[in-house]
Amino acid sequence: MTGIYMDSEFTGLHRNTSLISIGLVSDTGSSFYAEFTDYDKSQVDGWIQENVISHLSLEPGTWKRDEINGSTIVTACDNSSNIRSRLLKWLENEWVLTDRKLQFFVDCYAYDWVLLVDLLTGGKSALDMPEYIYYIPIDLSTVLWSMMEDPDIGREEFCSWNYHEKDNSVKHSAYGDALVIEKCFDRIKRYKLPNKSSLIYI
C-alpha cells in the first residue's frame, strides 16, 4: 500500500474538538497542507493560541498547487467543505498514481483519525470513507510500545531528524510533524527487535 503520513492540530482533547490544520505526506513525495478558517474559536485556550494559532501563516482563501519533480504540493487556507473537496482529489490522485490503497500512519491517532473520517465523509461514518483508503490506520505510539520503546519518546529524538531546525519552524505545525512521523516510520522499517532471549514475558 501507499503510505500517507498525517498530523493535525485541533482545538482541544475533547469530544467536540475541531480541526485547525492538517498535514499529509505521501510515499510518492507529494504533500498536502491546509489551515481551516472555520475551527471553533470558542474552544481555543491560551496554550492553543500560543502554540498553534499564533504560528498559522496562510491568508484565508489561499489555494496553491505546485508540481515539483513529479510530486504534487498543495497548500490551502479555507473552510472545511472546500478543504475536503481538494483533499479528496489529492488523495484520489495518490491512489491512481500508485494503483495501491492508501495506508495512513498517524502519531497518537485517537483524535486525528476520527477528525479525518469526519472531514472526508462530510460528517458521516468510517463506513463512508473512500474505498481506496485502507480502513486500519497505524498508530506510532502503539508501534513504539510494541518495540519496547517509550511511547512518549520525543519523535525527533527517535528518528534523529529535526525538520523544525532545518526550516526555522516550530513544533505543532501539522505539516512539519507529518514529516517527522514519516521519518519515524522510516526508522521503524529498519528497526531490529532485541534478541528474544532478552525479552521478559508477563
* 19-64 pLDDT, tens digit each: 999 999 999 999 999 999 999 999 999 999 999 999 999 999 999 9
d(CA 84, CA 39): 14
For the entire predicted model, the pTM comes to 0.87
d(CA 130, CA 50): 35
- The whole-number mean pLDDT for each consecutive block of 10 residues of the chain, a chain of 202 residues, reads 96 95 96 97 96 94 90 95 97 95 94 96 95 96 90 85 54 85 89 51 38
User: Which pLDDT value is given to residue 166?
Assistant: 52
d(CA 183, CA 178): 9
**Does the CA dihedral 95-108-121-38 come out positive or negative?**
negative
User: Which pLDDT value is given to residue 169?
Assistant: 52
**Buried (b) or exposed (e) across 59-82, using 16+ Cβ within 10 A?**
eeeeeeeeeeeeebebbbbbebeb
Which H or E run contains 33? strand 31-36
SS3 169: coil
CA–CA distance from 25 to each of 68, 94, 165, 193 (Å)?
Answer: 14, 10, 19, 27
User: Which pLDDT value is given to residue 182?
Assistant: 93
d(CA 98, CA 132): 11
Instruction: Give the strand order in the sheet containing 102-106.
Output: 63-68, 71-78, 31-36, 19-26, 2-10, 102-106, 138-139
Q: Which domains does the chain have, with CATH numbers?
A: 2-192 (3.30.420.10)
